[in-house]
Amino acid sequence: MQLVLHSLVALWLCFVSRVYAQDVPTQFYIHHRVVHPNLPVTPWSNFGSISIPHPSSISPSGTPVTFTLAETLLDDLSEFAESVNPALEESLYQVAVEKPKSSEGMWPASVMKGCLMSMSTSSSITIHLSSSGEPLGLDYFLSTIPSNGSCPSPSETSKSYSMHNTTVFVTTPRSPPLPELRAPPPLTPEGAPIPPVAEKTFLQKYWVYIVIVVAALLVSGPPEEPAANGTGPKAPN
């Protein structure tokens, strides 16, 4: 009896822990930096944090989440401009999501040209999660950039990295629809396919109706000849 009670308690605790885990959101930190191939690598700075709900409540097409900006964001952007001038050719702006228990080189990241950062006032981040809620990829988009992605002239490029109104989305993988398979053809006990039944001809389909029509015509007999009305010429006496 005690063994049964212990088993029931263990199952109940397991159920409660799973329900509680689904209600508690997971917090992730987003980082950013600027880099240039000919300059020392700039360390990552905190861009902000997000709270992601349980993967079961996330829409595959994307669910917006609350994004809290870091308090040091403006100071970091100023330091970025001092380290790498946005007007400098090949300057890059990087955004990454911190992956727990992984090195910085394994963080999902996205790259944007530094010269394009001052051409837009809003941006969006899409974080792709696995079915267990682990970050797999990150996409960073600016609301307004040239269709060809080219940088403006150096005289038109801002000397600083502007602050954007950023929206964050999270997505989960979606399974493709299963193929609709046709039913297998019937087989004989020997495993050979059963040939389809030959389609009936017109006579085979409608011979009953033809017989009925012919019988009706035979029963009715030939049409009666009209009687003489006496209006014809009389025979000579």
Q: Render pLDDT for 61-73 as a digit per residue (tens, 0 to 9).
A: 678 888 999 999 9
Whether 202 maps to a domain, the answer reads no
Question: What pLDDT, on a 0 to 100 scale, did the predictor assign at position 15?
Answer: 40
Whether 206 maps to a domain, the answer reads no
Stretches where the chain sits below pLDDT 50 are 4-6, 8-10, 12-22
Whether 52 maps to a domain, the answer reads yes
For residue 76, what are the domain limits?
18-171
Question: What pLDDT, on a 0 to 100 scale, did the predictor assign at position 51?
Answer: 87
Whether 167 maps to a domain, the answer reads yes
Whether 5 maps to a domain, the answer reads no
Query: For the chain, what is the domain count?
Result: 1
Cα angle 143-136-50, degrees, rounded to a multiple of 5: 60
Q: Name the pTM for this structure.
A: 0.64
Whether 229 maps to a domain, the answer reads no
User: Which residues are CB-contacts of 109 (< 8 A; sequence separation ≥ 6)?
Assistant: 94, 95, 96, 97, 138
Residue 83, SS3 per DSSP: helix
Question: What pLDDT, on a 0 to 100 scale, did the predictor assign at position 172?
Answer: 85
Question: What pLDDT, on a 0 to 100 scale, did the predictor assign at position 228?
Answer: 58
Whether 157 maps to a domain, the answer reads yes
